[in-house]
């Protein structure tokens, strides 16, 4: 396989496997320049996109319409004419915090049935080092009857989508690229360069690229855990954590982070993939493991602090009516994946208190289906206290403008969002 020219690259037909927060923006950008097919097993998602709507809010109707070469399918056979397949399916964890590669394995098996000679399969899903070549490639070989790096080739380019971020979008985030041989790397890199204005970084191996994605989120998880641990200490010392951080951040090299709930599909999941892989080679990373424990138990600590605040203010916890403001895992985003607000809600309920949830961005039907909770449509003056869990702009504006009022006047703002 020789290096392809730009003209030859433009002749390629691309299939995107998975049209969620990662796959859809990718399909849209490629669909502006290449013949692209977006595949998803969710037929409702396909109908939604064909109607020009994106419930994840990662793309606008105008952006969808600009992708003139993009079509949507829920039948994998419709992608048989593609030359390049890009896999963007989720890589979750099990209830025991072990990697769950089932979606990735199923996607690989589906592609193997339509894989042809000289095709390239690029993986974007977050995995521990070795998964692409040790797990996915054997599935592709077995299902296709083709030989790896002779008949077909693979690449890995870790996704860096930041859900809900309207400034750091796919085209202006540097993309790490890798390939199973030098020629494949050349093509993969050229392909992404055609849509990524920020440029690319070529990793020397697929395993390096896989590892680079993991440590991006492991580093952030560890740093947030440190702030959350400081929050534990300063709460017990009756010191304002935000004020301490604001003071410390006047030093040029201080990393300014605030305490909070660490959820989502990346930071709260990826460290477990590295922990799993490290254990297979006989090493237990104590710092990474401890950081996960601190961040995972934050809902318990926040619930306890909330009750302490009620008692300090002489508010009867057993008689108070509470509303949690926000259920998604981060602000200004409808994404519910691994939201720790759900854990906070359960802690409050398990303490025997009355609690509802309000979130204008979280789709009611998805909250009901995924979490078993019916969110309320209005707050008005129906509640005694509130917990400001997610700082959606809409929520913060209404609280500050006193459109939302509470009989005790108390809003538990553990992130100190209202002070900013």
pLDDT of residue 265: 86
pLDDT of residue 165: 81
pLDDT band at 380 (very low <50, low <70, confident <90, very high): confident
Active site residues: 266
Say if domain 241-419 classifies as CATH 3.40.50.720: yes
- Burial class of residue 369 in the structure, from the number of CB atoms within 10 Å of its CB (0-12 exposed, 13-18 middle, 19+ buried): exposed
pLDDT of residue 372: 95
pLDDT of 86 above 80: yes
pLDDT of residue 299: 97
Complete edge-to-edge strand list for the sheet that includes strand 84-87: 70-73, 35-39, 13-17, 84-87, 120-123, 153-156
pLDDT band at 3 (very low <50, low <70, confident <90, very high): very low
- Return contacts of 372-377, CB within 8 angstroms, 24+ apart: 373/327, 373/342, 373/345, 375/327, 376/323
> Average pLDDT of 32-46?
95
pLDDT of residue 5: 53
Q: CATH 3.40.50.720 in the chain, residues?
A: 6-204, 241-419
pLDDT of residue 8: 64
pTM: 0.91
pLDDT of residue 293: 97
pLDDT of residue 204: 98
> Average pLDDT of 8-15?
82
CATH class belonging to 6-204? alpha beta
pLDDT of 305 above 60: yes
pLDDT of 349 above 60: yes
pLDDT of 344 above 70: yes
What is the C-alpha separation between 40 and 48, in angstroms, rounded? Answer: 12
pLDDT band at 162 (very low <50, low <70, confident <90, very high): confident
Mean pLDDT of the chain: 94
What is the C-alpha separation between 114 and 79, in angstroms, rounded? Answer: 8
pLDDT of residue 7: 61
pLDDT band at 68 (very low <50, low <70, confident <90, very high): very high
């Amino acid at each position: 396989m020789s290096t392809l020219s730009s003209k030859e690259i433009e002749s390629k037909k691309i299939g995107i496997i998975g049209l969620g927060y990662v796959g859809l923006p990718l399909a849209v950008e490629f669909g502006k320049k290449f013949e692209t097919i977006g595949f998803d097993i969710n037929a409702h998602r396909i109908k939604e996109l064909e109607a020009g709507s994106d419930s994840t809010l990662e793309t606008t109707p105008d952006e969808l319409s600009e992708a003139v070469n993009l079509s949507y399918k829920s039948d994998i056979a419709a992608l048989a004419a593609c030359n390049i397949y890009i896999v963007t399916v989720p890589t979750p964890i099990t209830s025991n915090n072990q990697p769950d590669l089932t979606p990735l394995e199923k996607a690989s098996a589906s592609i193997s049935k339509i894989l042809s000679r000289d095709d390239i399969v690029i993986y974007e899903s977050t995995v521990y080092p070795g998964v692409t070549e040790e797990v996915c490639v054997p599935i592709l070989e077995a299902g296709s009857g083709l030989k790896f790096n002779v008949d077909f080739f693979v690449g890995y380019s870790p996704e860096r989508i930041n859900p809900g971020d309207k400034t750091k979008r796919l085209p202006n985030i540097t993309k790490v690229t890798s390939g199973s041989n030098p020629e494949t790397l050349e093509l993969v890199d050229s392909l992404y360069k055609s849509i990524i204005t920020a440029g690319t970084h070529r990793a020397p191996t697929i395993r390096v690229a896989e590892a680079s994605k993991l440590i991006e989120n492991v580093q952030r998880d560890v740093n947030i855990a440190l702030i959350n641990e400081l929050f534990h200490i300063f709460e017990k010392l009756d010191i304002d954590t935000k004020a301490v951080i604001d003071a410390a951040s006047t030093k040029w090299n201080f990393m300014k982070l605030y305490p909070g709930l660490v959820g989502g599909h990346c930071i709260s999941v990826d460290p477990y993939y590295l922990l799993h892989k490290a254990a297979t080679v006989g090493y237990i990373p104590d710092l990474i493991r401890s950081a996960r424990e601190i961040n995972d138990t934050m809902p318990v600590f926040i619930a306890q602090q909330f009750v302490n605040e009620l008692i300090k203010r002489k508010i009867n916890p057993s008689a108070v009516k509470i509303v949690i403001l926000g259920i998604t895992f981060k602000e200004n985003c409808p994404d519910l994946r691994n939201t720790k607000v759900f854990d906070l809600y359960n802690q409050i309920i398990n303490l025997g208190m009355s609690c509802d949830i309000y979130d204008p961005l979280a789709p009611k039907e998805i909250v009901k289906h995924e979490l078993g909770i019916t969110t309320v449509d209005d707050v008005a003056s129906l509640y005694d206290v509130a917990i400001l869990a997610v700082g959606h702009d809409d929520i913060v504006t209404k609280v500050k403008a006193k459109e939302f009022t509470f009989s005790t006047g108390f809003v538990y703002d553990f992130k100190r969002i209202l002070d900013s």
